[in-house]
Amino acid sequence: MADLPLFPLNTVLFPGMQLKLHIFEDRYKIMMNECIDEGKPFGIVLIKNGQEASAPLAEPHEIGCIAQITQVQRLQFDRMNIVATGQQRFRIVHIKKHEPFLLADVEEFSPKDDNLELIKYYSQQLQPLITQYIKILSQVSDMQFNPMNIPHDASSLAHVASVLLQSDDNIKQDLLSTDALSVLLRKLLDIYRLETMLLNIRISPPDDNFNIGSFSSN
């Protein structure tokens, strides 16, 4: 794959996910103007070590996601707001350039269809959990998503499940970096089971008079 400019952030981008960014640092203004002028994408990678802004370039995780700019709002002093959409996972092969921004050789990285029986089983188990998760989350946040838009295709289902998940960036990076589709779906299934349980507890806490008796000393 051709050289890809990298944007290390404290966030994880998945294929199909939209991300709004405010570009204010000189190095990233240069990078974004090049991408806009040449119609080329850039890569978003979660920061492994370092800071997001006003500091030396951060060390990124190995797996990231290609982002295509879809909207641009020009501001004063060459600042800009952009909207980018995730397209394809990638793996960094070699970082070729560090100044003024990271430029890397990358290769395509996609979860493999490794075990069709497990993929089908986990997909069937995951789909209703996503629906339940969306319904509960809509009660405690401003999240809006039509459950009818949940796909049946296993790969697309994994993408949507990853995007919808309200979780820690390290957990999301682990999902982004998983190289087998059956393993990815199993991880998502485990996470959604836990998250739906915790959300149910949040919206339906025990009564003040709730008593489960004395605790064992063990």
pLDDT above 90: percentage of residues in the chain: 64
User: Looking at the predicted structure, is the pLDDT value of residue 121 above 50?
Assistant: yes
Distances (CA, A) of 217 to 15, 154, 213: 49, 46, 13
Q: Which range is least confidently modeled, 51-60, 124-133, 175-184?
A: 51-60
213, pLDDT greater than 50 = no
C-beta of residue 90 within 8 angstroms of C-beta of residue 16: no
Model pLDDT, residue 142: 66
Residue 5 pLDDT: 95
Q: With 60 as the cut, is the pLDDT of residue 147 above it?
A: yes
DSSP 76-132: GGG-EEEEEEEEEEEEEEEEEE-SSSEEEEEEE---B---HHHHHHHHHHHHHHHHH
What CA–CA distance (Å, rounded) separates 22 from 5? 17
Structure confidence by residue, pLDDT tens digits, 157-171 = 999 999 989 889 999
* Per-residue pLDDT band at 58 (split at 50, 70, 90): confident
Separation between Cα atoms, residue 186 and residue 138, nearest integer Å: 24
Domains and CATH numbers, the chain: 4-108 (2.30.130.40), 116-203 (1.20.58)
CA 117 to CA 121: how far, in whole Å? 6
Q: Is the predicted pLDDT of residue 13 greater than 80, yes or no? A: yes
Q: What pLDDT score does 208 carry? A: 54
Mean pLDDT, the chain, integer: 87
**Whole-prediction pTM:** 0.85
Residues 6 or more apart whose CB falls under 8 angstroms from that of 11 comprise 19, 44, 46, 169
According to DSSP, the residues that pair with 89 across neighbouring strands are 65
Beta bridge partners of 81: 22, 73
Q: According to the model, what pLDDT value does residue 114 have?
A: 86
Taking only the tens place, the pLDDT of each residue in 73-95 is 999 999 999 999 999 999 999 99
